[in-house]
Amino acid sequence: MDGSNKISITVCGDGGCGKSSITLRLVRSQWTHEYDPTIEDSYSVTRTIDGVTYSLNLTDTAGQEEYRGLWSSSNLHSDAFLLVYDITQANSLDALEHFNSLIDMERETRFEQGGVLPVCMVAGNKCDLQAMRQVSAKDGLQWAKSRGYGFMETSAREMVNIEETFALLVRKVVASRAQHVRGEPQELPSSTARTEPLTPLPADTEKEFPSQPQNEQPSERPKKQRWWQKLKCWCNHTLNIMDSTTALRNNSSAVTSRRNSYELGDFETGQQWSEQNHEVQSLPRADGGKDAWMLLGACFLLEALVWGFPFSFGIFQDYYINQNLFEGGEGGIAAIGTTATGLMYFAAPFVAVAGQRWPQYRRPTMWTGAAIIVLSLIGASFCTTVPGLLATEGVLYAIGGVITYFPAIQYIDEWFIMKKGLAYGVVWAGTGSAGIVVPFFSQWLLDSFGFRTTLRVWAIILAVMMTPALYFIKGRLPVTGSSAFRPVDLGYMKRAAFWVFWISIMFEGLGYFVPTYWLPSFARSLNMPSFVGPLGLALYNVAVVVGAVSMGALVDHCHAGTASLVSTVGQMLAIFVFWGLTSTQPMLYVFSLMWGVFAGSWAATWTGAAAAIRNKEPTGSNMDITTVIALFAAAKGVGSVISGPLSEKLVDIQANWQAAYAYGTSYAGLIVFTGVAVTLGGLAWVGRLVRLV
């Protein structure tokens, strides 16, 4: 590689401000919440910027006061300096004065020697911790502007403005070198010129008879530093080295200390300073603002469209069974709905990992998935066999649904930080909202026009309504060319906390889908009117809206284990008491409402579970919350796929005991199975008791 493409960068700042985290984010796309004081580390990384590949040699330097003297002279020979402070620690900005004074000396030396001047930028790190902010963006910007430096606010944890900061440093170095090659005069920034220019010592003959030159032209360069000032700086630097060496020897056994993991805060600024107009440019506001709420509304609508149809499959299942229109009879019809939802859940981790690694392909993938959904329903409308329906309305719909939905919700993690649980709860309430309308509308279409026209009408509706939803689903964080590939860390899967939640969700998934798929058939078996089944599903979905939003808000303020206990107890009461004792319409409606509130809110606990897993991580892994949620969805998918065919077998079992209410019907085995499954779903709370989660 051409030597002109090699750039050395020194990262400096106070201890604990995140210098190592910023460096590791750039070099390895890795973030760590463990605080290990750095003496000095060096890294090399290549980046292609503006079509040119550069080799960056990074030096992560000591920030603690007792080790600052260990700065070697080679650090000051860097092409660029990144001065980092912590926005949650006011004194970390003041600490930059020490490093800036050393850089000023080096800059003056190069200026006198006619060399290329170093460039500097200031980075206000940890901008994700807005609730803990002590240094405003305005103060940081003013500090940088007063010295002629560039400015950005960064988050090593959220990987915001990391690539952009170093890219801007590279561009500044390239511009400075080009200016030097052209022979253009270089100006010292205001940081070096903020005091009166130093003058050389007068000659001996000038001490007694100073001359008064006439018509002297002002110098274009600052005058040389006085020799005793240089000697004083050299002595201070030498003493610092001696003190630091002693401190290092005396404290070598206590160098490493661990800081508590940072709480994720309101990610509101993420600001950068544009050198062209010297203005602060901000990322869109997180946890609020027009853009965030537009995205949330679009995701809510997409949730309703993608999941509302398969979750109301009970209406179609009842129609298919009673009309007996397909070759193959009733066998396998129940598996259509569970296959669609189950495959969407099960394929979610693969789609989430792909979306995390290649974020630039998320939006094209979403549009492709939407087209597949529409085609699957059109294809199902021409089917004459159950396997045909299973392949189109089940498998093909699932493929389109999963690659439409999961890339979309990955953007929620960018737009909502402090209100993440509430945001996911609102989105997941979309399924319930659709369920209020879809059952009645589908039942009317089926009774009036048959299933073929119904499926085609739904294909048109989905095509028309998904288009504006997908248009407004966009990312908040920029995807640069160098960060387009983002590695995913799955190390948390080795820990008990993850598997406690995963197994708990799998058990709950075994019982979750059973009532909604069999509710219309159950109502018909009790000789209730035909509207009772759709009305029960509609009430269930109304309750899902309330439960999902409420549970989402709850997990933002309490542990996921506690939230899962609330959901589990409510589900147990709904199954064993209200469904088991149902013999009238009012009791069936009460069951539908309770099941919607407590079972429908179960998924809203997943963001809290992901946060609990992250807090158990011994190392600051690069854990992606959406990928964790997708893995939880796979666990629920396992339960969905198993519960479909198993529920058919359980309904076929004839009870040989005498019992009252629903326990005396052919659905008794189904009720008991569902109740036991959701009870085992409370394993997350047990894990909380024994401190596994």
DSSP 269-299: ---EEETTTTEEE-PPPSSSSHHHHHHHHHH
For 392-461, give the secondary structure using H, E and C.
HHHHHHHHHHHHHHHHHHCCHHHHCCCCHHHHHHHHHHHHHHHHHHHHHHHHHHHHHHHHHHHHHHHHHH
Whether 563 contacts 551, CB under 8 Å: yes
Encoded tokens for 237: 């630097």
Whether 124 contacts 174, CB under 8 Å: no
Residue given tokens 């020979």 in the structure block: 77
Say which range, 5-9, 155-159, 284-288, 314-318, has the weakest mean pLDDT: 284-288
- CA-based nearest residue to 264, from 137, 91, 132: 132
Q: Quick check: 492 pLDDT over 90?
A: no
Rounded CA gap, 211 and 114, in Å? Answer: 29
Encoded tokens for 38: 């750095």
Q: For the segment 231-261, what is each residue's pLDDT rounded down to a tens digit?
A: 555 455 444 444 444 443 443 333 333 222 2
- CA-based nearest residue to 261, from 579, 8, 616, 676: 616
Rounded CA gap, 282 and 270, in Å? Answer: 6
Q: Averaged over 212-220, what is the pLDDT?
A: 43
DSSP string of 539-554?
HHHHHHHHHHHHHHHH
Rounded CA gap, 523 and 110, in Å? Answer: 87
Rounded CA gap, 677 and 509, in Å? Answer: 8
Long-range contacts of 141-144 (CB under 8 A, 24+ apart): 141/271, 141/273, 141/280, 143/93, 143/96, 144/273
Name the DSSP class of 495: S
Q: For the segment 528-578, what is each residue's pLDDT rounded down to a tens digit?
A: 887 888 788 888 888 988 998 888 888 888 888 888 899 999 999 999 999
Task: Give the pLDDT of residue 82.
Answer: 94
Alpha-helix runs per DSSP H in 573-661: 585-598, 606-616, 625-652
Instruction: For the chain, count helices (H), then strands (E).
Output: 23, 8
Whether 302 contacts 294, CB under 8 Å: no
Rounded CA gap, 410 and 407, in Å? Answer: 5
Q: Quick check: 167 pLDDT over 50?
A: yes
**Neighbouring C-beta atoms of residue 489, cutoff 10 Å:** 18
Encoded tokens for 126: 């940890």
Task: Give the pLDDT of residue 122.
Answer: 94
Whether 543 contacts 570, CB under 8 Å: no
- Of residues 554 and 664, which shows the higher confidence score? 554
Pairing outcome for strands 40-49 and 52-61:
antiparallel
Q: For the segment 628-644, what is each residue's pLDDT rounded down to a tens digit?
A: 888 998 888 887 778 87
Rounded CA gap, 217 and 364, in Å? Answer: 64
Name the DSSP class of 660: S
Mean pLDDT of the chain: 78
Hey, where are the domains in the chain?
6-182, 286-488, 491-692
Whether 435 contacts 312, CB under 8 Å: yes
For 134-168, give the secondary structure using H, E and C.
CCCHHHHHHHHHCCCCEEEECECCCCECHHHHHHH
**pLDDT-based confidence at residue 621 (cuts at 50, 70, 90):** low
Whether 663 contacts 582, CB under 8 Å: no
- 3 state DSSP class of 102: helix
pTM: 0.61
Rounded CA gap, 157 and 33, in Å? Answer: 8
Does domain 286-488 fall under CATH 1.20.1250.20? My reply is yes
Q: Averaged over 665-688, what is the pLDDT?
A: 89
Encoded tokens for 339: 């296959």
Options 3.40.190.10, 3.40.50.300, 3.30.1700.10, 3.50.50.60; which CATH number does 6-182 get? 3.40.50.300
If 0-12 CB within 10 Å is exposed, 13-18 middle and 19+ buried, where does residue 169 land? buried
Amino acid at 657: W
Residue given tokens 């997908």 in the structure block: 470
Q: Averaged over 298-326, what is the pLDDT?
A: 83
Residue 235 CA, chain-centre distance (Å), reads 49
Task: Give the pLDDT of residue 652.
Answer: 72
Rounded CA gap, 238 and 297, in Å? Answer: 61
Rounded CA gap, 370 and 391, in Å? Answer: 17
Whether 23 contacts 481, CB under 8 Å: no
Pairing outcome for strands 272-274 and 279-281:
antiparallel
Residue 150 pairs in a beta bridge with 121
Say yes or no: do domains 6-182 and 491-692 share a fold.
Answer: no
Residue 54 pairs in a beta bridge with 47
Q: Averaged over 262-289, what is the pLDDT?
A: 47
Options 1.20.1250.20, 1.20.950.20, 1.10.800.10, 2.60.120.10; which CATH number does 491-692 get? 1.20.1250.20
CA angle, residues 160, 161, 166, in degrees to nearest 5: 140
Rounded CA gap, 560 and 554, in Å? Answer: 9
Encoded tokens for 597: 């509130």
- Of residues 46 and 652, which shows the higher confidence score? 46
Whether 625 contacts 420, CB under 8 Å: yes
Q: Averaged over 194-213, what is the pLDDT?
A: 41
